[in-house]
Amino acid sequence: MVQEEKTFTLRFSIEASFPEDYDGEEDNHQWTQDWERLIKPEVLRVVFDALRKHPNWTAHVRNRGLSPLDEIEIALVKDLSKSPLRLS
């Protein structure tokens, strides 16, 4: 079987601003907890809900060795091996 691949990146950068007297990492990055506990799971649910609306594609999380705190890769697969190839 021949397989082709294309990568599309949707990147989120989360940031926090602190008062001038903040002494760096005092809170052990507690500000990231809203992202991890509330926002990221909701974003993933919405993405997978949208992808499920396209039955010719299947989606699954793929781990490439990075921590899920840093990266979540979603593989979106369309299997054309069982249908005739149409070039037009």
* Residue 87 structure tokens: 């070039």
Query: Does the pTM of the predicted model rise above 0.75?
Result: yes
- The pLDDT tens digits of the residues spanning 24-76 come to 777 788 889 999 999 999 999 999 999 999 999 999 999 888 899 999 999 99
Would you list the domain boundaries of the chain? 42-82
Cα 51 to Cα 19, 41, 72, 74, 88, distances in angstroms: 41, 15, 15, 10, 25
